[in-house]
Amino acid sequence: MLSRLTSRKSILLGAASLAASAAAVAGPCTGPGAPTTTETKCVTAVQIPGNPLRSFDISWVNPHRGEYYLAERSNAGIVVIDTHTLTWKRTIGGFQGIKPGTTPTTPVNNNISGPDGVTSHGKWLYAGDGDSTLKVIDLDAPNASAIKQTIPTGGSTRVDEMALTSDGELLLAANNAEDPPFATLFMANGDRHSSSVTIFTKITIDNAIVPAGAGLSMEQPAWEPKTKRFYVSVPQIANNPAGCTFGGPVFCQGGMAVIDPNALTAGTATIGAFDATTNTGVVPLSDCGPNGATVGPHSNIMLGCTPQNVPTNTTTQVINAVTKHFVEVGGLTGSDEVWFNSGDNRYYTGSNRACGKAAGCNPPAGSRAPAGAVFGVVDAKTNFLVEKIPASSNSHSIAADSKRNLIFVPQVAPNTVVTAGDSTDVGAGVCGSNNGCVAVYVHKVDHDHDDGDHDRDDHDHDHDH
């Protein structure tokens, strides 16, 4: 126990030293985004060289390599942070970057910007780009030769969120902005030394469930190793409940697509209504239009319900992959990426849409007070909300290192610096700069405690997600 405490102390002291030595910036971890009364504490902020952070997407941690990866469009690449030293390591370029939107309210066209989704297994990192391609990256290679394959998926918009099987052999990636949306199942690299990724099949959802022309989506998938299924968030589906419409007043709720990769045929496949006998198909959800999905203990799956998809959603949901029984996590909604950290048995959520102007959460004109964006902390044993910590107003990405219980939360630069940036002072206080950053938090735990569910595969995102 003493050695563990000494190791943890060394990490925190090293992080504090890094923060103190950061050049030309004020001290990080100040203001509303760094409360002193929470269990989850701000440690430092990692500054990213290049353009101020304006637009980023999904993030990922490989705890065995000690690396954090952020799909960072402002600098058109994957940012790599060393989770041992909490320093920027490199940015792997070659992506679309920010593509402008067509109206003042949409200055960034997310549908064609990149990078977007990202995940990893061993030395292989997989990242989606805004031109509907998957890029396969060798993390052991230098930047100039890191991208080993660029694979078109046949769409015209971004390859977004994705998940790998535990052995890294199969990759499921969603083209969320296509109409109708589709997913691609790839034969991935596993632990092989050279890259030979190929497309196995294109997956769509039955038109009666996700009708073409309705502007619907497929979002974050997750791999559950006990049932050997992918579980995919579907923000809205038809006839859930009967008579609903996608735009209200009776809003259609979302679904969860359950995909057995071993039951798919090469070429194309269509997912239909849920079949309990095969445990496949689209499960209708109650009061949840999800973006995020992550697998926690006991085959439970947290779904990031959000009022961006269904305005009536006010909670987060945890559903069991086997029984489909679910519980509601009260006091938390509006999540994009969600993450289970096996190191402390907690879920973390990037809840930048926790509330909006209708709920009085946006700061008044001319004010830079905290808005509604938070990252949520949920106890995976009880499924109760532990705490919410303010984040920059566009902070929707979150990932954790299970070996060090460090939580990484990207913060966008202020809107005084970048278009459509942070409308509050939360990010600048946490970052100690006006350039945006990746804020690092820690949850110190007693490793002698019972983490529960030790019989399951280690969910440390290398990849059991």
Residues 78-96: tens digit of each pLDDT? 999 999 999 999 999 999 9
Higher pLDDT, 451 or 205: 205
pLDDT of res. 367: 72
Q: How far apart are CA 162 and CA 404, in angstroms?
A: 24
Residue pLDDT, tens place only, 387-437:
999 999 999 999 999 999 999 999 999 999 999 899 999 999 999 999 999
> Residue 290's Cα: distance from chain center in Å?
12
pLDDT of res. 371: 76
Cβ neighbours around 193 below 10 Å, total: 9
**What secondary structure does DSSP assign to 365-397, as a single string?**
TT-----S-EEEEEETTTTEEEEEEE--TT---
pLDDT of res. 446: 74
Q: How far apart are CA 210 and CA 400, in angstroms?
A: 33
Residue pLDDT, tens place only, 134-155:
999 999 999 999 999 999 999 9
Band the pLDDT of 447: cuts 50, 70, 90: low
Residue pLDDT, tens place only, 250-259:
999 999 999 9
366 pLDDT higher than 90: no
Cα three-residue angle 180-112-438, rounded to 5 degrees: 115
Q: What CATH number has the domain spanning 2-442? A: 2.130.10.10
Q: How far apart are CA 215 and CA 178, in angstroms?
A: 8
Q: How far apart are CA 291 and CA 337, in angstroms?
A: 7
Residue pLDDT, tens place only, 303-328:
999 999 999 999 999 999 999 999 99
